[in-house]
Every structure is written in structure tokens, then in C-alpha cells.
Amino acid sequence: MAEQKKPEKRMVNEKSKDEDLEQFREDSTGQYLTTNQGVRVSHTDDSLKSGERGPTLMEDFHFREKLTHFDHERIPERVVHARGSGAHGYFQVYESMAEYTKAAFLQDPSKKTPVFVRFSTVVGSRGSADTVRDVRGFATKFYTEEGTYDLVGNNMPVFFIQDAIKFPDLVHAIKPEQPNEMPQASAAHDTFWDFVGNLPEITHMIMWVLSDRALPRSYRMMQGFGVHTFRFVNAAGKGRFVKFHWRPLLGVHSLVWDETQKIAGKDPDFNRRDLWEAIEMGDYPEYELGVQIIEEEDEFKFDFDLLDATKIVPEEDVPIRWIGKMTLNRNPDNFFAETEQVAFHPGNVVPGIDFTNDPLLQGRLFSYLDTQLIRLGGPNFHEIPINRPLAPLHNNQREGYHRMMINRGQTSYFPNALRDNYPRPAPEEEGGYVHYTEKVEGRKVRARSESFKDHFSQAALFWNSMSDPEKEHIVKAFHFELGKVEDVEVRKRVVDLINNVDGDLAVRIAEGIGVSPPATKGGAGVTKKSPNLSQLTTMMDTIKSRKIAVLLAEGFNHAELMQVTQALKGAGAHPQIISQFHGTVRSSDGQEVMVDKSYVTTASVLFDAVYIPGGKQHIETLKTHGYAIHFINEAFKHCKPIGATGEGVDLLTAADLEGVETASPEADGDVLSRQGVVTIRNPKGIDSFNERYIEAIARHRHWDREKKERVPA
């Protein structure tokens, strides 16, 4: 037998994912319309008929191809995580992690590993709104030199259930109810809360879902978590437990509930649009990857089980080590081809990363692959361009629906002699994946470990760690969710469940939903706090990419506008001019600026802050515009920063913001900053104003305003 040429050794990525996709991109400059077979089409407005008013002829191949393709354009949407938004980017590790893992993409700080990230809501359909109360998916596909690695997580570090066998029950309960397919993208109905009241293990997750974490301001301001405990394995075969974390460099910020409901009507694509526009403007989202590493000998040192997906590892017990950064810098070329067809699977791992016996993770290892088979039409979904690994493929798998690879050679089996056993298994030292040799023994049982049965301690830890405003939001969320439940007994069971967490919380919930409080106050007996669970400990030192609404009418002070907006732009924010009509608006000295949005096409809920420059005529006009007054009141109600200079302060006075003192004429050059409302009368002090106003925006919200009862918005 002639000597066979040995396959080339796997190389470090020589091309980016972008280059890999190039062969699949359409030439958008093509001049002539063609069929899918490349035949040029001379006419596409009328089908081929027997006479002008006669029947359509079946020989019209262009008509049949066009309609057939249209009839088959839709694929089944995901049962969960149906509504998503994606972006391309890259990941770089800060320093080699060889001590802990042999994963190649975690070794070289100079190497950029291509990634594709899909953010998503969980419960709603593809057509639902972005801002519903829900968990958010945070799934990252790393195109590494050793193969594709998928870190498929959420924006919350825990999950609803402990064992994957309960997942169908969870989804059936939280989806729209069976008789009427209502409500869409909402847990506020009887079947879900009936499920909650009968499943104590769900309690910790419920605290997260009813917190501000379920209402992210932006995908760019949202944490991500691997949820499960995984394993790192180094080249020597030593294993360690690991928990994965993503931290946005813009900080973690949320919307408020009233705001989310209004945004759902004003712009149901709010989070999707925010991600797209940020990347288009060069405000590339950045996230640090962190790990909590736990030695195997410490597996049982905690008062919870590491394999329990309803538990966190508090940072006070195991600090997070930040090991690298991900940057998202390119939007998809086509939503369907990339964001909709991307297929994630937690079983897609590379050497150096392995699983644990977490029963929820074990079930996901089956379920995700099974789902892709039906959704994407067969076993070759890995050949769809967005799913193609950058590592070369050599195996004996053949044929099936949508096969794209053209295999060569006569052998498709192993062992073989005709090709000298190629492709053959790779030894570990050549990159072959070897599963961690964990010792496992025990009887076959349908049972759960006793170490999984504390369902309330960490729920209490989460509650204790919240700030007063965050606690108030959780209580109001319970009032809304349970207030929508018609069955009083279901409401009562949930109150009794929460009484196991904190008796006072249970009483506060009961007061708002028309049920009797528990006869005896309970509680988990936990007094400990974990400060980093509160969003008020997040980064609040940047206004990069924040959107600032600037309200204008004819006769505004152009100098003030320029001084403030240039300072905002210099800090990385994006001021937008809002006026009654589109077009231009003229200043008191005759200068014109272009209007970005009119009142009827936007709203305060779509912005992070509001600014009003001076100008006597401009302010007198705005006082007569109900839209402008409502804009300010609504922003005030939602605790957003508001700034005004010169006569702009008078508009705030006209808006009658409850309990807020604004700069008086006597204050002259002094900046007055109260509850996130920053004002100055004399433009000579505008530099000081800019400093204070930017500081107020960086804080994101000013929760001391929430107690205001009289806000007409």
C-alpha cells in the first residue's frame, strides 16, 4: 500500500471567524436578479400564465421556487430563549491560566479568540417585548483552535430547579396558560405561582426574578453567570471546581418597573436596539470573565452543595478572579442566518474544561443537542456558517439533512486499512479530549441528596443583601405578580413559602395582595449579608454610552447648549435633541441645530437623563408644551438625573417637582444638586455644573425620590 499522507497538525487560528464566514456572504453589489440556481430572471412581477387572464402554469420554475422558499422561511422558534439579540467579538485572557486549565484559549494574552454572543429573554415568544420581567440568557460561543466552546449561561447565578427532570414542568407552568394562551412573556398568572407555591427549591431564584436583575437597562450593563459548577483540568490532570462570571465594564444597571411597561409600548425592541446602536456607534460592549476556583478537597466545606444550581458561592467565601476581557465589536450581517440559527450546547467543551454531576447540568447536556436536531432540521446544524468551528473537522460522520461538506475518499469508518486508520483518535498530548477521571459509585436510585434540601438560607442572604430601594422593588414586584393571580389559595401558599425566608417580608407581601399574613412570623435565621449581590455596589464612575435627552424650542441659549453637550460627549455620552417637530430649531442668536427626535416619536423612558438649557423664549414655549412637562415629570418619577441651566431652571419650577429645591436667581453662580436634580442660574459656573451633572448621571438613579407621592406622570 502506498504511504498515506498524514493529516496536517491542528494549527492556531490562522483566520478570524469573520474571514471564515466570508465565503458565505452574499455579494450585495450584484446587478441582476437570479434564481437559486444562478439563472438570471427577466421578470418577477407576474407569474407565467396561459393568456393574460388565464391560469398560472406549473412550468413557471421561478414562481414555484420563490413561493416554495417563502413557504419554508420559518424554522421552529426556541421553546425558551426565543427572543434573542446577537453580536460578534473577541476574547483575550489577561495571563496564562495553565496552572488551572489546559484550555488553549486561556493561555496566551496576545491571542484574540473570536466569539459570538446571544442575549435573550427566556419566557416570551420571538415577537414579545424586550423589557418584560424575566431571566436573560447570556450565551457565548468561543471559536477556539481546539474546537468550539459554549458557555451557556444567564444573567442570574442560580436557577429555578435542581434537577433537569423538572424543566418541562417549570416551562409549562410559566408559559401562557393552556386554555387561552395568555399572558404573553409574563409569570404573573395562576399556573406559575401555583407551581412556585408547591416547589420550595424555587425560592432563591424567585427572589432574583422579582429583583431589579430581571429588568436590565441594557445587555451591555448586565452580568452573566455560568450558573453550574464546572471543572478546570490542567495538563497534569489535576481538577478543580470552577464557577464562571461575566462583569460588564459599564456597571450593572436596571430599569424600573413602570418604565419597562411603557418602553414595551414605545419601543419593544429597546434592548435589541440598544445593543445594535452601541456597536454601530463604536461603544463596544466589554465584559470581564471571572472565575471562582475551588480545590477538590474543599468540595464539602460549604453549608450548601456545590452541585446545587439553586445556590451561589458567596464572594466572601471564594473571591472572583478576573482573568480576561470580551469585546463585542461587530453586529451580524443577517439576523436569521446568525442570531436565529446559532446553536448553543453546554456539552461543547474543549480540553481543560469538564463537567460535574450537577443534575441540572447533566440534563442540559442531553436537552440542548436534542433541541437543535428538531429546530435546525437534522444532525448537520454544525455546518451552518455561524456554528462552524474554526478548528478543522475530520471524522467519519456522513450525509443527513443539509449536508454541506463534500467528503472525499472511500472510507467512512474506523478502524480501516485503506487509509492507514485516518482519521484516527488523537492522544492527549496532541490535543485529544480526555474526560476527567472522577471516581463515581453508588446504587441506582431516584432520589436527591440531603445536601440539596436547604431552600431558604440563600434566599434570606439575598434579601438581607439588598438596599432599601431594592427591597421595596421586590415587595412591589410580589404585589404585581401575585396581584394578577386569581386563586386566593395560590397567593396564600406563596406568602407561607416566603415566610420561611423572612417573616417581615411575608407580612409586607400579604398586605398588598389581600391575604392574611402568616399566623407566626418565620424566617431562615440568616443575618449574614453578601454586599456584591446588591446593584448599588456596582461601578458608578462612567456615563459612557448613556443617552441624554435635551429639550429644545425656538430661542434657546446656544452657548449653554454647546458647553453642556460637549462636556457630555467628552465623557462618552450621547445627547439627543428633542423638540415638538422634526427639522431644525433656532437659538436666540440665530443658530440652528438639527432635531433628533420629536415628542411623538420618543419618550423619557428611552433616555438615561434630561437636560434643559436656558433661553427665555425657549423656556416660555416649553412651559406651554404638555409633552415637555410630562417628559420632565416622568424622568423625575423614574429617579433619573435632570439638569437645567439659566432660565431652564424655571421649567423645572413650572414642572413642580415635589420636594426639590432648584437654583434661585439669588444663588447666581452656585450649582445646586438635590436628589439628582442639578441646576445653575449663571452660565459662568457651567464647568462646575457639568462636573456635578455628569456625576449625577453616573449614579444612574436617585432612589431618594421614590418616596414622592405626587408626581403627575
Sequence ranges of the domains in the chain? 84-160+200-386, 456-537, 547-705
Q: Is the pLDDT of residue 13 over 90?
A: no
- Count of residues making up the chain: 713
Q: Report pLDDT digits (tens) over 65-123.
A: 988 888 998 999 999 999 999 999 999 999 999 999 999 999 999 999 999 999 999 99
Element containing residue 649 per DSSP (H, E): helix 648-655
Q: Report pLDDT digits (tens) over 359-413.
A: 999 999 999 999 999 999 999 999 999 999 999 999 999 999 999 999 999 999 9
Mean pLDDT of 478-491: 98
Mean pLDDT of 31-59: 91
**Mean pLDDT (the chain, rounded):** 94
Element containing residue 277 per DSSP (H, E): helix 270-280
What's the CATH fold of domain 456-537? Hemocyanin, N-terminal domain (1.20.1370)
The amino acid sitting at 622 is L
Strand partners, 138: 119, 153
Q: Report pLDDT digits (tens) over 271-286.
A: 999 999 999 999 999 9
Q: What is the full DSSP assignment across 543-609?
A: -TT-EEEEE--TTB-HHHHHHHHHHHHHTT-EEEEEESSSSEEEBTTS-EEE--EEGGG--GGG-SE
Q: Do residues 556 and 585 lie in contact, with contact meaning Cβ atoms separated by under 8 Å?
A: yes
Write the CA distances from 545 to 56, 560, 571, 700, integer angstroms. 55, 22, 9, 12
Q: Is the pLDDT of residue 302 over 70?
A: yes
What's the pLDDT score for residue 29?
82
Grouping H, G, I as helix, E, B as strand and the rest as coil, residue 142 is strand
DSSP state of 340: I
Q: Report pLDDT digits (tens) over 585-615.
A: 999 999 999 999 999 999 999 999 999 999 9
Q: Do residues 577 and 618 lie in contact, with contact meaning Cβ atoms separated by under 8 Å?
A: no
Catalytic residues: 81, 154
pLDDT band at 2 (very low <50, low <70, confident <90, very high): very low
d(CA 333, CA 280): 12
Write the CA distances from 325 to 44, 115, 328, integer angstroms. 49, 12, 10
What's the CATH fold of domain 547-705? Rossmann fold (3.40.50)
d(CA 247, CA 230): 18
Q: Report pLDDT digits (tens) over 385-398.
A: 999 999 999 999 99
Q: Is the pLDDT of residue 666 over 80?
A: no
What's the pLDDT score for residue 657?
84
Other Cβ atoms within 10 Å of 350 Cβ, number: 23
Q: Is the pTM of this model over 0.75?
A: yes
pLDDT band at 682 (very low <50, low <70, confident <90, very high): confident
pLDDT over 70 percentage in the chain? 96
Q: Report pLDDT digits (tens) over 219-268.
A: 999 999 999 999 999 999 999 999 999 999 999 999 999 999 999 999 99
- Of the candidates 413, 282, 343, the one whose C-alpha atom is nearest the C-alpha of residue 84 is 343
d(CA 576, CA 565): 9
- Return the minimum-mean-pLDDT range out of 299-308, 497-506, 682-691: 682-691
Q: Report pLDDT digits (tens) over 557-576.
A: 999 999 999 999 999 999 99
pLDDT band at 6 (very low <50, low <70, confident <90, very high): very low
Grouping H, G, I as helix, E, B as strand and the rest as coil, residue 254 is strand
- The class level of CATH for 84-160+200-386 reads mainly beta
